[in-house]
Structure 1
Amino acid sequence: MTRPHHYRVDVEWTGNRGSGTDGYRNYGRDHVIRIEGKPDIAGSSDPTFRGDASRHNPEDMLVAALSTCHMLSYLHMATVAGVVVTAYADAAEGTMQTEGDGGRFTEVVLRPTVTISAASDPAKAQAAHEAAHHACFIANSVNFPVRCEPRVVVSGE
Protein backbone atom coordinates (compact mmCIF):
# COMPACT_ATOMS: atom_id res chain seq x y z
CA MET A 1 0.00 0.00 0.00
CA THR A 2 1.38 3.41 -0.90
CA ARG A 3 1.01 6.46 1.30
CA PRO A 4 1.82 10.01 0.33
CA HIS A 5 4.26 11.93 2.51
CA HIS A 6 4.43 15.69 2.20
CA TYR A 7 7.35 17.97 3.01
CA ARG A 8 6.91 21.73 3.36
CA VAL A 9 9.88 24.02 2.81
CA ASP A 10 9.75 27.82 2.69
CA VAL A 11 12.48 29.63 0.74
CA GLU A 12 13.02 33.38 0.88
CA TRP A 13 15.49 35.22 -1.35
CA THR A 14 17.48 37.72 0.75
CA GLY A 15 19.91 38.88 -1.93
CA ASN A 16 18.24 42.10 -3.07
CA ARG A 17 20.97 44.72 -2.74
CA GLY A 18 18.58 47.57 -3.42
CA SER A 19 18.07 47.35 -7.17
CA GLY A 20 16.66 43.86 -7.52
CA THR A 21 17.81 41.89 -10.52
CA ASP A 22 18.57 44.85 -12.78
CA GLY A 23 21.94 43.29 -13.65
CA TYR A 24 23.61 39.89 -13.32
CA ARG A 25 26.28 41.21 -10.94
CA ASN A 26 23.91 43.47 -9.00
CA TYR A 27 22.05 40.94 -6.86
CA GLY A 28 23.08 38.43 -4.24
CA ARG A 29 22.27 34.75 -4.43
CA ASP A 30 21.63 34.55 -0.67
CA HIS A 31 18.46 32.95 0.59
CA VAL A 32 17.04 31.34 3.71
CA ILE A 33 15.48 27.89 3.81
CA ARG A 34 12.91 27.48 6.55
CA ILE A 35 11.29 24.30 7.76
CA GLU A 36 8.88 24.64 10.65
CA GLY A 37 10.37 23.59 13.96
CA LYS A 38 13.94 23.37 12.61
CA PRO A 39 16.86 25.79 12.43
CA ASP A 40 17.02 27.99 9.33
CA ILE A 41 19.53 27.07 6.64
CA ALA A 42 21.51 29.94 5.14
CA GLY A 43 21.79 29.24 1.43
CA SER A 44 23.43 30.74 -1.62
CA SER A 45 24.67 29.53 -4.98
CA ASP A 46 28.03 27.88 -5.53
CA PRO A 47 30.85 30.48 -5.61
CA THR A 48 31.34 29.63 -9.30
CA PHE A 49 27.90 31.14 -9.87
CA ARG A 50 28.54 34.30 -7.81
CA GLY A 51 27.42 32.74 -4.51
CA ASP A 52 28.65 33.00 -0.95
CA ALA A 53 31.06 30.15 -0.15
CA SER A 54 30.15 30.29 3.55
CA ARG A 55 26.53 29.27 2.85
CA HIS A 56 25.07 25.93 1.80
CA ASN A 57 24.31 25.60 -1.90
CA PRO A 58 21.73 23.36 -3.60
CA GLU A 59 24.41 21.15 -5.14
CA ASP A 60 26.01 20.43 -1.75
CA MET A 61 22.60 19.73 -0.26
CA LEU A 62 21.70 17.27 -3.03
CA VAL A 63 24.88 15.27 -2.45
CA ALA A 64 24.29 15.44 1.32
CA ALA A 65 20.70 14.23 0.86
CA LEU A 66 21.88 11.22 -1.14
CA SER A 67 24.62 10.42 1.37
CA THR A 68 22.42 10.69 4.45
CA CYS A 69 19.53 8.82 2.85
CA HIS A 70 21.86 5.93 2.01
CA MET A 71 23.29 6.00 5.54
CA LEU A 72 19.89 5.87 7.20
CA SER A 73 18.71 3.11 4.84
CA TYR A 74 21.95 1.22 5.46
CA LEU A 75 21.68 1.40 9.24
CA HIS A 76 18.18 -0.09 8.96
CA MET A 77 19.26 -2.85 6.56
CA ALA A 78 22.29 -3.69 8.71
CA THR A 79 20.08 -3.97 11.79
CA VAL A 80 17.66 -6.27 9.95
CA ALA A 81 20.61 -8.42 8.80
CA GLY A 82 21.95 -8.69 12.36
CA VAL A 83 25.01 -6.54 11.65
CA VAL A 84 26.09 -4.27 14.52
CA VAL A 85 27.41 -1.01 13.10
CA THR A 86 29.59 0.97 15.50
CA ALA A 87 30.69 3.79 13.15
CA TYR A 88 29.75 5.17 9.74
CA ALA A 89 31.44 7.94 7.74
CA ASP A 90 30.97 8.86 4.09
CA ALA A 91 33.11 10.93 1.72
CA ALA A 92 30.47 11.48 -0.98
CA GLU A 93 31.21 13.34 -4.21
CA GLY A 94 28.92 14.63 -6.91
CA THR A 95 29.78 15.61 -10.46
CA MET A 96 27.77 18.28 -12.22
CA GLN A 97 28.20 19.25 -15.86
CA THR A 98 27.16 22.72 -17.00
CA GLU A 99 26.15 23.56 -20.53
CA GLY A 100 24.99 26.98 -21.63
CA ASP A 101 22.64 28.39 -18.99
CA GLY A 102 21.84 24.97 -17.54
CA GLY A 103 23.40 21.78 -16.41
CA ARG A 104 22.82 18.55 -14.60
CA PHE A 105 24.43 16.12 -12.23
CA THR A 106 26.03 13.23 -14.09
CA GLU A 107 26.71 11.06 -11.04
CA VAL A 108 27.21 10.91 -7.30
CA VAL A 109 29.63 8.46 -5.72
CA LEU A 110 29.17 7.45 -2.10
CA ARG A 111 32.26 6.15 -0.31
CA PRO A 112 31.07 5.04 3.12
CA THR A 113 33.44 3.44 5.59
CA VAL A 114 31.44 1.30 7.98
CA THR A 115 32.85 -0.19 11.15
CA ILE A 116 31.09 -3.28 12.46
CA SER A 117 31.48 -5.32 15.63
CA ALA A 118 33.84 -8.29 15.58
CA ALA A 119 30.87 -10.64 15.97
CA SER A 120 29.16 -9.29 12.81
CA ASP A 121 29.41 -10.87 9.36
CA PRO A 122 31.34 -8.64 6.92
CA ALA A 123 29.57 -10.22 3.92
CA LYS A 124 26.18 -9.28 5.37
CA ALA A 125 27.49 -5.79 6.13
CA GLN A 126 28.59 -5.42 2.50
CA ALA A 127 25.28 -6.80 1.15
CA ALA A 128 23.31 -4.33 3.27
CA HIS A 129 24.72 -1.53 1.06
CA GLU A 130 23.00 -2.95 -2.02
CA ALA A 131 19.71 -3.29 -0.15
CA ALA A 132 20.10 0.25 1.21
CA HIS A 133 20.75 1.62 -2.27
CA HIS A 134 17.48 0.16 -3.54
CA ALA A 135 15.59 1.43 -0.49
CA CYS A 136 16.92 5.02 -0.54
CA PHE A 137 14.07 7.40 -1.36
CA ILE A 138 16.38 10.11 -2.68
CA ALA A 139 18.48 7.82 -4.92
CA ASN A 140 15.24 6.42 -6.34
CA SER A 141 14.16 9.96 -7.23
CA VAL A 142 17.13 11.24 -9.25
CA ASN A 143 17.81 10.72 -12.95
CA PHE A 144 21.55 10.12 -12.74
CA PRO A 145 23.64 7.22 -11.40
CA VAL A 146 24.37 7.01 -7.70
CA ARG A 147 27.25 4.62 -7.15
CA CYS A 148 28.33 3.20 -3.81
CA GLU A 149 31.92 2.18 -3.11
CA PRO A 150 31.70 0.97 0.48
CA ARG A 151 34.46 -0.21 2.76
CA VAL A 152 33.68 -2.44 5.73
CA VAL A 153 36.02 -2.47 8.72
CA VAL A 154 35.69 -5.00 11.54
CA SER A 155 36.29 -3.57 15.03
CA GLY A 156 39.68 -4.54 16.37
CA GLU A 157 41.24 -5.13 12.94
Structure 2
Amino acid sequence: MATYRATADWSLKDGEDFAAGRYSRGHSVVFDSGFEAPGTASPHVVGNKWSVPGAVDPEQMLVGAINTCHMLSFLHIAREAGLLVARYRDEAVGVMEKRADGEMWVSRVTLHPKITYEGRQPTPAERDAMHHKAHHICFIANSVKTEIVVEEVAA
Protein backbone atom coordinates (compact mmCIF):
# COMPACT_ATOMS: atom_id res chain seq x y z
CA MET A 1 0.00 0.00 0.00
CA ALA A 2 1.15 3.53 -0.74
CA THR A 3 -0.02 6.88 0.54
CA TYR A 4 0.04 10.08 -1.50
CA ARG A 5 -0.37 13.59 -0.20
CA ALA A 6 -1.22 16.93 -1.75
CA THR A 7 -1.66 20.08 0.29
CA ALA A 8 -3.89 22.84 -1.10
CA ASP A 9 -3.34 26.29 0.41
CA TRP A 10 -5.65 29.25 -0.29
CA SER A 11 -6.31 32.46 1.60
CA LEU A 12 -8.59 35.45 1.19
CA LYS A 13 -6.78 38.58 0.08
CA ASP A 14 -7.39 42.13 1.19
CA GLY A 15 -10.29 43.74 -0.63
CA GLU A 16 -11.92 40.49 -1.75
CA ASP A 17 -15.57 39.78 -0.89
CA PHE A 18 -15.93 36.10 -0.05
CA ALA A 19 -19.68 36.28 0.71
CA ALA A 20 -20.37 37.79 -2.73
CA GLY A 21 -18.12 35.28 -4.53
CA ARG A 22 -15.64 38.01 -5.49
CA TYR A 23 -12.37 36.36 -4.59
CA SER A 24 -9.45 34.83 -6.42
CA ARG A 25 -9.50 31.06 -6.82
CA GLY A 26 -5.68 31.09 -6.98
CA HIS A 27 -3.96 28.75 -4.56
CA SER A 28 -0.97 26.46 -4.33
CA VAL A 29 -0.82 22.69 -4.39
CA VAL A 30 2.22 21.12 -2.77
CA PHE A 31 2.84 17.45 -3.44
CA ASP A 32 4.69 15.09 -1.10
CA SER A 33 7.71 15.27 -3.43
CA GLY A 34 7.99 18.94 -2.47
CA PHE A 35 6.89 20.16 -5.91
CA GLU A 36 4.59 23.16 -5.68
CA ALA A 37 2.17 24.00 -8.48
CA PRO A 38 0.08 27.15 -8.78
CA GLY A 39 -3.56 26.14 -8.81
CA THR A 40 -6.81 27.84 -9.76
CA ALA A 41 -10.41 27.15 -10.60
CA SER A 42 -11.07 26.71 -14.30
CA PRO A 43 -11.91 29.92 -16.16
CA HIS A 44 -14.69 27.82 -17.75
CA VAL A 45 -16.23 27.60 -14.28
CA VAL A 46 -15.52 30.95 -12.60
CA GLY A 47 -14.54 33.17 -15.52
CA ASN A 48 -11.24 34.87 -16.20
CA LYS A 49 -11.64 37.45 -13.45
CA TRP A 50 -11.47 34.92 -10.59
CA SER A 51 -9.16 32.30 -12.12
CA VAL A 52 -5.40 32.75 -12.31
CA PRO A 53 -3.58 32.72 -15.67
CA GLY A 54 -0.68 30.29 -15.79
CA ALA A 55 -2.06 28.09 -13.00
CA VAL A 56 -3.46 24.59 -13.38
CA ASP A 57 -7.07 23.73 -12.54
CA PRO A 58 -8.33 20.43 -11.08
CA GLU A 59 -9.82 19.31 -14.40
CA GLN A 60 -6.48 19.83 -16.15
CA MET A 61 -4.74 17.88 -13.37
CA LEU A 62 -7.20 15.01 -13.86
CA VAL A 63 -6.59 14.91 -17.63
CA GLY A 64 -2.83 15.11 -16.98
CA ALA A 65 -2.98 12.29 -14.42
CA ILE A 66 -4.90 10.02 -16.82
CA ASN A 67 -2.56 10.95 -19.68
CA THR A 68 0.70 10.35 -17.82
CA CYS A 69 -0.52 7.21 -16.07
CA HIS A 70 -1.43 5.64 -19.42
CA MET A 71 1.91 6.72 -20.89
CA LEU A 72 3.95 5.26 -18.03
CA SER A 73 1.94 2.03 -18.14
CA PHE A 74 2.36 1.80 -21.91
CA LEU A 75 6.13 2.39 -21.73
CA HIS A 76 6.44 -0.44 -19.20
CA ILE A 77 4.42 -2.82 -21.39
CA ALA A 78 6.32 -1.87 -24.55
CA ARG A 79 9.65 -2.49 -22.79
CA GLU A 80 8.45 -5.88 -21.58
CA ALA A 81 7.43 -6.69 -25.19
CA GLY A 82 10.99 -6.00 -26.33
CA LEU A 83 10.15 -2.77 -28.13
CA LEU A 84 12.27 0.35 -27.95
CA VAL A 85 10.17 3.50 -27.58
CA ALA A 86 12.17 6.57 -28.59
CA ARG A 87 9.39 9.10 -27.98
CA TYR A 88 5.86 9.16 -26.65
CA ARG A 89 3.85 12.37 -27.02
CA ASP A 90 0.19 12.62 -26.17
CA GLU A 91 -2.08 15.64 -26.47
CA ALA A 92 -4.98 14.42 -24.35
CA VAL A 93 -8.35 16.16 -24.43
CA GLY A 94 -10.85 16.09 -21.57
CA VAL A 95 -14.50 17.03 -21.93
CA MET A 96 -16.52 18.43 -19.04
CA GLU A 97 -20.30 18.39 -19.34
CA LYS A 98 -23.47 18.15 -17.29
CA ARG A 99 -24.66 14.79 -16.02
CA ALA A 100 -28.35 13.85 -16.13
CA ASP A 101 -28.74 15.26 -12.60
CA GLY A 102 -27.33 18.62 -13.71
CA GLU A 103 -23.93 18.32 -11.98
CA MET A 104 -20.75 18.85 -13.98
CA TRP A 105 -18.16 16.11 -14.49
CA VAL A 106 -15.23 15.21 -16.73
CA SER A 107 -17.09 12.62 -18.76
CA ARG A 108 -14.45 11.65 -21.30
CA VAL A 109 -10.72 11.89 -21.82
CA THR A 110 -9.39 11.05 -25.26
CA LEU A 111 -5.72 10.19 -25.49
CA HIS A 112 -3.89 10.87 -28.76
CA PRO A 113 -0.52 9.16 -28.30
CA LYS A 114 2.03 9.56 -31.07
CA ILE A 115 4.71 6.96 -30.44
CA THR A 116 8.05 6.63 -32.21
CA TYR A 117 9.90 3.32 -32.02
CA GLU A 118 13.47 2.40 -32.88
CA GLY A 119 14.03 -0.99 -34.46
CA ARG A 120 11.08 -3.35 -34.64
CA GLN A 121 7.72 -1.67 -35.13
CA PRO A 122 4.66 -3.17 -33.44
CA THR A 123 1.78 -4.38 -35.57
CA PRO A 124 -1.54 -2.54 -35.24
CA ALA A 125 -2.87 -5.51 -33.24
CA GLU A 126 0.14 -5.35 -30.88
CA ARG A 127 -0.33 -1.60 -30.39
CA ASP A 128 -4.02 -2.06 -29.60
CA ALA A 129 -3.24 -4.87 -27.15
CA MET A 130 -0.57 -2.76 -25.42
CA HIS A 131 -2.96 0.20 -25.07
CA HIS A 132 -5.65 -2.10 -23.71
CA LYS A 133 -3.26 -3.56 -21.15
CA ALA A 134 -1.92 -0.08 -20.25
CA HIS A 135 -5.49 1.05 -19.60
CA HIS A 136 -6.13 -2.06 -17.51
CA ILE A 137 -3.09 -1.55 -15.24
CA CYS A 138 -3.20 2.25 -15.00
CA PHE A 139 -3.94 3.13 -11.37
CA ILE A 140 -5.71 6.36 -12.32
CA ALA A 141 -7.91 4.73 -14.98
CA ASN A 142 -8.88 2.17 -12.35
CA SER A 143 -9.88 5.01 -10.00
CA VAL A 144 -12.22 7.13 -12.15
CA LYS A 145 -15.64 6.84 -13.81
CA THR A 146 -14.50 8.98 -16.74
CA GLU A 147 -14.55 7.22 -20.11
CA ILE A 148 -11.00 6.96 -21.44
CA VAL A 149 -10.50 6.50 -25.19
CA VAL A 150 -7.20 5.95 -27.01
CA GLU A 151 -6.86 7.22 -30.58
CA GLU A 152 -3.23 6.65 -31.52
CA VAL A 153 -1.76 9.07 -34.04
CA ALA A 154 0.55 7.70 -36.71
CA ALA A 155 4.18 8.59 -36.02
Q: TM-score range by the shorter chain?
A: 0.7 to 0.9
**Residues 15-62 of structure 1: CA distance to partner in whole angstroms, max 9, x if unpaired?**
4344562211x2110111112342211000111213113211001110
Q: Which amino acid aligns with 1:60?
A: Q
Whole-angstrom distance in 2 between the partners of 1:9 and 1:78: 31
Contact 2:88 2:116 in 1 (8 A): yes
Deviation at 1:142, TM superposition (A): 0.7
Query: Structure 2 matches for 1:63-82, cutoff 5 A?
Result: 63-82=63-82
Report what 2:110 is aligned to.
109
Contact 2:89 2:114 in 1 (8 A): yes
Q: For residue 134 of structure 2, give the secondary structure of its aligned residue in structure 1.
A: helix
Whole-angstrom distance in 2 between the partners of 1:44 and 1:125: 37
Whole-angstrom distance in 1 between the partners of 2:14 and 2:71: 40
Whole-angstrom distance in 2 between the partners of 1:126 and 1:84: 17
Aligned-residue Cα RMSD (Å) equals 2.0
Whole-angstrom distance in 2 between the partners of 1:114 and 1:39: 28
Query: Structure 2 matches for 1:45-124, cutoff 5 A?
Result: 45-48=41-44, 49=46, 50-98=50-98, 102-123=103-124, 124=126
Give the gaps of 5 or more residues in structure 1: none
Whole-angstrom distance in 1 between the partners of 2:63 and 2:89: 14
Counterpart among 126, 129, 149 of residue 127 in structure 1? 129
Contact 2:90 2:111 in 1 (8 A): yes
Give the gaps of 5 or more residues in structure 2: none
Counterpart among 37, 44, 50 of residue 41 in structure 1? 37
Shift in alpha-carbon separation, 1:47–1:17, aligned structure 2, 3 A: farther
Query: Structure 2 matches for 1:145-156, cutoff 5 A?
Result: 145-153=147-155
Shift in alpha-carbon separation, 1:152–1:83, aligned structure 2, 3 A: farther
Q: Number of matched residues?
A: 149
Contact 1:129 1:150 in 2 (8 A): no
Report what 2:11 is aligned to.
14
Report what 1:23 is aligned to.
20
Contact 2:12 2:18 in 1 (8 A): no
| Alignment TM-score, normalising by the size of structure 2 | 0.86
